[in-house]
Structure 1
């Protein structure tokens, strides 16, 4: 055989092998109408998103055809926590086809394809209507999700013919599961709820009246060295000594030598007065002087004794202030806590000299607080008998509530502030863990006492888009519509939707800002992902 013939034969063999590798070797294809060797039509792709048993299932798969393998790309998410869904990282999945006649076919994926994704392969054995169910079993979470009614087609051509036409609607934005699992993400349905009518305003947290105190220096003095030193955050009981202060007013007007000289003079005068009393007693016994002279000598002795005692105390006090130690016999001022609580301010340095009126320590009892809301005068009549309020503060994702069970309304102001045109409304609430701090600003909703039943979504689902309240509505597990809404009453972390979202539609309740940012920056890929 010539070299040319050998080359021709090799080329023919290579073409035959290549044709088989490109997918034309499925058994039974001739029986499906491809005897002419034409390319088999591609099966339509389907997807489903379902929530059940604390699970979110987003699944993509080709139309089911008898005898054809159909891999189910099942994305499982642990959706039990409304504050943030979690990717499923452990378990096995069983897919069950249950036909109308009661027959069942089961297909198992013993392990994850990768985090969150299982890929059981379904190969139906007979055509007809069926129900597709996926059962997840694992340590992290377990549950059953009904994927819904499916049709097993007898041929690929039948599957293609049954595919619904593509509908042109509002544009959807992709946000892949792999992206959702990397951020705080959750969805919630728009549902009918009973909402409290309310008035929104601003407020501030304050200490309860009588549960805050400031301790100031009553006189000029020096903070005692070796005495108690209050510090920020210190827990104190009523009556605890927080500062000891030694007066220094006298020491600022004289010096030690003068004080010692005055003390010595007082002692000498006392000695002289005592000798005069002794002499007068002797002379009175000899009837040399009248009795009234003895009385005068005794009075002079008492005055000299008092002067000497005062001089000694003054000398001891001066020496104590110079050394930083207290003098004897009550020569220090003790500043005591007037209530149980914690030290909220402290400016105490041992040995430091302070002026009268200087604030040294502040104490508050933070176990209960007041919420003071400022209501504009036009809304004041609506909250005159407000049964409660809800509020949020920076740094906390949750909303706080004050009602008859958790607190009380203290007072509603009777005068409109001339500068702000507002009326104060006070509520008292418990703060057992001390998480809330006096001075925090709050966004407050004061309940009016009216209720209504309306379609509502979590307030966390609403984001600001160029001044318009906007939400992201789920079309499928990885696609979303951006819609402007018209909000209504806000109550208990929920907001009424007057227009833009229908009951039953799911909105992104956690991660809406991340989705908005991704769409604005173009970080979301334009095409799907490969499994």
Structure 2
């Protein structure tokens, strides 16, 4: 064995070990130029490895491959990701890929991978037949997603030596952190470009969702009593109409049962007194006509009649009021029961009604709320209060929802700005009213609020979800390639509509991790990589 051949074998072994140490183990395959023991194994190992990351047609392509050489097989390890949903990219699990080399003279060579190597990865093998400049394009066809991604201009070299000599020197720059596709596909992951946007100036505050004034009510037991068996029993979430009977309470005390009887007796007495007064007036008028009594006596009879009429009217109104709140049937003393009716259209938000139970006066039995509109109360620190005095609206997020909610002149209104600073929290309340037609938002939810100041700024911005806290420093992860990222500290500015101004740290067009940044941060802290490495 010649010294040159021995040196080539040693070099190939070192490169293979180095590849495995970096988590990219291509066991038993020809990826990255490691031919399966073929005649060109040593030469293939010397070819420079290239990579490309491209976005097109709703697809993300990250591809690794050895430099293209005439007559040499070059496996394209193409990682395809469905990048159509900004809230989370998905691994491609179906389809076939056609790689096309289009030369400057218009000729084209095609190479097809009929199926996936495994989820997300296709490996068409390119074997160019002539050297020169070409455009490399990959076409994905499948049920899940389809599209064409242009990988860019490539050079097909006549020999391996030409490819090696043309390889640029290894650049020295900022260090990157790895986050392999296998890791990305197992979490909620997405990227977005840093771009210039028009942002609304805003002030951050904590807030809470509350019922609109007059659109919530509590119904309590008016007297000590018993809830009759067989009566209405409201339940949580029940839709009710204004005036609907929700619960009945039968009084259990003699005084409570006698109230209605007393009022009825007073009404009967008033009517009898009115009749007597009417007769007295008639008699007085006859006697006055006969000049048997003075006019003063007639006037006294008429005044007595007016007082009797007034007393009848008062007792009748009181009797009507009692009858409007009592059913007139039931199992209580005298058969009377108080009916608690819904004061508004809405849903039952609280119900503590047990048939047969005895309750004391003032016990809360039912609460009703109309959730179709809500109030957002934001607590603004006193230093920021002057900025939101005429706030046109606000954006807010609540736990459990991935989307941001907005309230402005189109969707709601500003109700009021507090005129007093809370002595304990040093905040000023600002109220907004907003629609809640589907009832998704619940009163009592806490919110993170950005109140618009009315000012706008055109600036470079990144998604707010891309910014993570790294030891007290706002940080984003900027994509270097499909599986490597730069960790950059930024200086945030205006926040608006889910975006935050980046005063420095990123450049326009650079892609940042907009979903999964926290998981990437954790992986850099632990050095975690998939146990199987990154085998292709």
Q: Using structure 1 for the length normalisation, give the TM-score.
A: 0.78
Aligned partner of 1:523 in structure 2 is 528
Check 1:415–1:437 CA distance in 2 against 1; reply closer, same or farther (3 A cut): same
Aligned partner of 1:357 in structure 2 is 362
Question: Alpha-carbon deviations, 1:434-459, whole Å to 9, x = none?
Answer: 11110111110000011111111111
State the alpha-carbon separation in 2 of the partners of residues 367 and 22 from structure 1: 67
Structure 2 runs not aligned, ≥5 long: 1-34, 259-328
CA shift for structure 1 position 418: 2.7
State the alpha-carbon separation in 2 of the partners of residues 474 and 141 from structure 1: 23
Q: Structure 1 residue 75 and structure 2 residue 79: aligned?
A: yes
Structure 1 runs not aligned, ≥5 long: 1-20, 30-37, 255-322
Q: Structure 1 residue 169 and structure 2 residue 183: aligned?
A: no
Aligned partner of 2:457 in structure 1 is 452
Aligned to 2:503, what secondary structure does the other structure show?
strand
Q: Does the aligned pair in 2 maintain the 1:198–1:491 contact within 8 Å?
A: yes
Aligned partner of 1:437 in structure 2 is 442
CA shift for structure 1 position 253: 12
Q: Does the aligned pair in 1 maintain the 2:137–2:148 contact within 8 Å?
A: yes
CA shift for structure 1 position 219: 1.4
Aligned to 1:65, what secondary structure does the other structure show?
coil
Aligned partner of 2:473 in structure 1 is 468
Aligned partner of 2:419 in structure 1 is 414
Task: Specify which of 75, 90, 96 is matched with residue 86 of structure 1.
Answer: 90
Aligned partner of 2:405 in structure 1 is 400
Check 1:25–1:420 CA distance in 2 against 1; reply closer, same or farther (3 A cut): closer
CA shift for structure 1 position 64: 0.5
State the alpha-carbon separation in 1 of the partners of residues 38 and 248 from structure 2: 97
Check 1:253–1:187 CA distance in 2 against 1; reply closer, same or farther (3 A cut): closer
Q: Using structure 2 for the length normalisation, give the TM-score.
A: 0.77
State the alpha-carbon separation in 1 of the partners of residues 344 and 468 from structure 2: 45
Aligned partner of 1:48 in structure 2 is 52
Question: Alpha-carbon deviations, 1:15-63, whole Å to 9, x = none?
Answer: xxxxxx985735xx9xxxxxxxx96761000000000000000000000
Q: Does the aligned pair in 2 maintain the 1:473–1:482 contact within 8 Å?
A: yes
Aligned partner of 1:275 in structure 2 is none
Write out aligned runs for 1:325-340 (5 A). 325-326=331-332, 331-340=336-345
Q: Does the aligned pair in 2 maintain the 1:241–1:337 contact within 8 Å?
A: yes
Q: Structure 1 residue 154 and structure 2 residue 168: aligned?
A: no
Aligned partner of 2:39 in structure 1 is 25
Q: Structure 1 residue 192 and structure 2 residue 196: aligned?
A: yes
CA shift for structure 1 position 324: 7.9
Question: Alpha-carbon deviations, 1:476-509, whole Å to 9, x = none?
Answer: 1111112221111110011111111111111111
Task: Specify which of 125, 147, 166 is matched with residue 121 of structure 1.
Answer: 125
| Equivalenced residues, count | 432
Write out aligned runs for 1:295-334 (5 A). 325-326=331-332, 331-334=336-339
Q: Which has the larger radius of gyration?
A: 1
Check 1:492–1:41 CA distance in 2 against 1; reply closer, same or farther (3 A cut): closer
Q: Structure 1 residue 58 and structure 2 residue 42: aligned?
A: no
Q: Does the aligned pair in 1 maintain the 2:490–2:503 contact within 8 Å?
A: yes
State the alpha-carbon separation in 1 of the partners of residues 463 and 193 from structure 2: 9
Q: Does the aligned pair in 2 maintain the 1:223–1:324 contact within 8 Å?
A: no
Q: Does the aligned pair in 2 maintain the 1:347–1:361 contact within 8 Å?
A: yes
Check 1:513–1:39 CA distance in 2 against 1; reply closer, same or farther (3 A cut): closer
Check 1:229–1:216 CA distance in 2 against 1; reply closer, same or farther (3 A cut): same
Aligned partner of 1:423 in structure 2 is 428
Aligned partner of 2:312 in structure 1 is none
Aligned to 2:165, what secondary structure does the other structure show?
helix
CA RMSD of aligned residues (A): 2.2
Aligned partner of 2:395 in structure 1 is 390
Write out aligned runs for 1:209-358 (5 A). 209-250=213-254, 325-326=331-332, 331-358=336-363
Aligned to 2:437, what secondary structure does the other structure show?
coil
Check 1:506–1:528 CA distance in 2 against 1; reply closer, same or farther (3 A cut): farther
Q: Does the aligned pair in 1 maintain the 2:111–2:124 contact within 8 Å?
A: yes
Q: Structure 1 residue 478 and structure 2 residue 517: aligned?
A: no
State the alpha-carbon separation in 1 of the partners of residues 55 and 174 from structure 2: 24
Aligned to 2:343, what secondary structure does the other structure show?
coil
Write out aligned runs for 1:472-511 (5 A). 472-511=477-516
Q: Does the aligned pair in 2 maintain the 1:225–1:324 contact within 8 Å?
A: no
State the alpha-carbon separation in 2 of the partners of residues 168 and 377 from structure 1: 49
Write out aligned runs for 1:90-109 (5 A). 90-109=94-113
State the alpha-carbon separation in 1 of the partners of residues 120 and 52 from structure 2: 16
Check 1:120–1:339 CA distance in 2 against 1; reply closer, same or farther (3 A cut): same
Aligned to 2:247, what secondary structure does the other structure show?
strand
Question: Alpha-carbon deviations, 1:311-364, whole Å to 9, x = none?
Answer: xxxxxxxxxxxx9824556x1110000001111111111222222211111100
